[in-house]
């Protein structure tokens, strides 16, 4: 059952398996998803699809990372919520945008879905 066919979740992860698992969990919970493998394709998807209501993105990706994506999204789409996911530690050299929501891998379906619900209710 789809929660809202007009509100999709954009999943961004350079690891196809990881992104597919996240998308599958979200879709099983009733959220339609759009998956992209990099920040540039994710930004194109946001420009092309006004029905994206949330972004779930990996932090560590080549070229541009999840923090970069968050900064651009907050500039261009200020009310669009973003959830960052990482399997690697956050280090002192990371420039973390203010109010970033970061989930640490491995994460449970309950943790992911709880963060999605909470952030969509704010958005």
What average pLDDT does the structure give for the chain?
91
* pLDDT higher than threshold 90 for residue 1: no
The answer to whether position 20 is within a domain reads yes
pLDDT of residue 93: 85
Range of the domain at 108: 8-122
Query: Is 1 domain-assigned?
Result: no
83 within 8 A of 119, measured Cβ to Cβ = yes
Domain count, the chain: 1
CA-nearest of 120, 79, 123, 86 to 103 is 86
Q: Provide long-range contacts, Cβ within 8 A and 24+ apart, for 20-23.
A: 22/56, 22/85, 22/112
CATH number for the domain including 61? 3.40.50.2300
What pLDDT, on a 0 to 100 scale, did the predictor assign at position 70? Answer: 96
pTM, rounded to two decimals:
0.91
Average pLDDT in the 23-49 region?
97
pLDDT at 5 (0 to 100): 52
Question: Do the beta carbons of residue 116 and residue 11 sit within 8 Å?
Answer: no
In a domain, 26, yes or no: yes
CA proximity to 19, closest of 40, 35, 2: 35
Give residue-wise pLDDT tens across range 40-96.
999 999 999 999 999 999 999 999 999 999 999 999 999 999 999 998 888 888 888
> What confidence tens digit (pLDDT) does each residue in 81-98 have?
999 999 888 888 888 888
Q: Which residues contact 109 (CB under 8 A, 6 or more apart)?
A: 25, 29
Cβ–Cβ < 8 Å for 90, 65: no
């Amino acid at each position: 059952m789809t929660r809202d066919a007009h509100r999709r979740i954009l999943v961004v992860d350079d690891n196809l398996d990881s992104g597919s698992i996240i998308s599958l969990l979200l879709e099983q919970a009733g959220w339609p998803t759009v998956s992209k493998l990099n920040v540039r394709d994710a930004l194109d998807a946001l420009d092309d699809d006004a029905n994206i209501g949330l972004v779930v993105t990996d932090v560590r990706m080549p070229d541009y990372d999840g923090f970069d994506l968050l900064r651009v999204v907050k500039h261009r789409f200020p009310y669009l919520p973003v959830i960052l996911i990482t399997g690697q530690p956050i280090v002192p050299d990371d420039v973390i945008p203010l109010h970033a929501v970061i989930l640490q891998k491995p994460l449970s379906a309950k943790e992911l879905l709880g963060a999605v619900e909470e952030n969509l209710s704010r958005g």
